[in-house]
Amino acid sequence: MEHRPALTILSEDEIAFKEAVRSFAEAEIKPHVNEMDEAAQLKPELIKKLFEMGLMGIESPETYGGAGSSFTMACLAVEELGRIDGSVSVLVDVQNTLVTNAIIRWATEDQKKKYLPKMATEWVGAYALSESTSGSDAFALKLKAELKGDKYILNGSKLWITNGKDASFYIVFANTDFSKGYKGITAFIVEKDFKGFKVGKKEDKVGIRASSTTELLFENCEVPVANVLGEVGKGYKIAIETLNEGRIGIGAQMIGIAQGAFEATVNYVKAREQFGKPIAQFQGVQFQLAEMRVQLEAARLLVYNAARLKDMNLDFVESAAIAKLFASRAAEKITSMAIDLFGGNGFTKEYPVEKFWRDAKIGQIYEGTSNMQLQTIAKMELGN
């Protein structure tokens, strides 16, 4: 059974785009999902197809080779990819909602001319903020940047960086003056072949296994002054404002994962027979499906609303926190209920719901834990 929920709040162009991404995901990604999950690696040829499909530069202006579309469109793509594979979904999400957004908003014209066309056609980007000692306390980072002549010399490391192995360049946050605290934090554009930079170990994760999550190592890494993103000492502002946008993208990923699990469950309970009839005919099963559907629709509308506010240049910070918080919780609940309804089959890799469940868990952790979203919501309600 195929659902087309919440489409009344989408335009005809958005519906057509959503359906095109769904068809692409069904044809090009679905056949490789289990293989990529087992290998813990995305197929390079699939990443190439994402570029060819125009999904890696959705908001980039057409003058830079992008689609010149909206943030909402980017979220719709992330959602539909998540319905098939959370790993592919987060690759596209980070590319669009974090890296591309940061370049569009904060880069110089020369930086835009250099990086946006590459991002739309061949270069994967990554966003490097977290370190071993700075997770939720993001501004406790210890990566040091020291100005020497026309270059900054970076020393330290980053951890848990999504797209780490697949990226060609990284937005990296380092401190140029620790005496200033967070006001010393500066953002840099670091290319993979810069001297002194290398990708470290790849994490062996529970879910979104095909997404490369790595450490980054900086040993006297040389970054040209021209590669400072925004102003020196204003990196904290870039980090906060970009992550506020990125949280909506994670919400979109979560509703995609939940949708995939829900559809698989509906199909399964209609086919699975016990006591002489399909289990879908039992009221207890029907009530659980209804609960899943309500959670999914509520999450979707919260995410769409936050995306719309962002596109309209209205205040979306609290809405983004609410959307991510609710969608990630809903995804974990829906995917867990899916396993319950599949019974013993749901606990095996032969059926798809165990992977949806594993992929959903990260939603309450990355790009701001659920506790951090609660803190944001509370602060905004209290006016501090």
**So where are the chain's domains?**
7-123, 126-234, 237-382
Residue range 132-150: average pLDDT? 91
**Is the domain defined by 126-234 classed in CATH 2.40.110.10?**
yes
Percent of the chain with pLDDT over 70: 98
Catalytic residues: 367
Q: What is the rounded CA–CA span in Å between residue 33 and residue 215?
A: 24
| 278-294 per-position pLDDT tens digit | 999 999 999 999 999 99
- Does residue 2 have a pLDDT over 80? no
Q: What is the rounded CA–CA span in Å between residue 356 and residue 372?
A: 24
pLDDT value at residue 1: 41
| 24-35 per-position pLDDT tens digit | 999 999 999 999
**Domain 7-123 CATH class label:** mainly alpha
Taking residue 182's Cβ as centre, other Cβ atoms within 10 Å add up to: 16
- Does residue 349 have a pLDDT over 50? yes
- Does residue 7 have a pLDDT over 60? no
3-state helix, strand, coil in the chain (%, to 5): 60, 15, 25
pLDDT value at residue 8: 58
CATH code assigned to 237-382: 1.20.140.10
| 170-197 per-position pLDDT tens digit | 999 999 999 999 999 999 999 999 999 9
Write down the pTM of the prediction.
0.95
What is the Cβ-side half-sphere exposure of residue 342, based on CA atoms within 13 angstroms?
A: 27
pLDDT value at residue 136: 84
Distances in whole angstroms, Cα of residue 263 to Cα of each of 7, 232, 269, 353: 17, 48, 10, 10
Percent of the chain with pLDDT over 90: 95
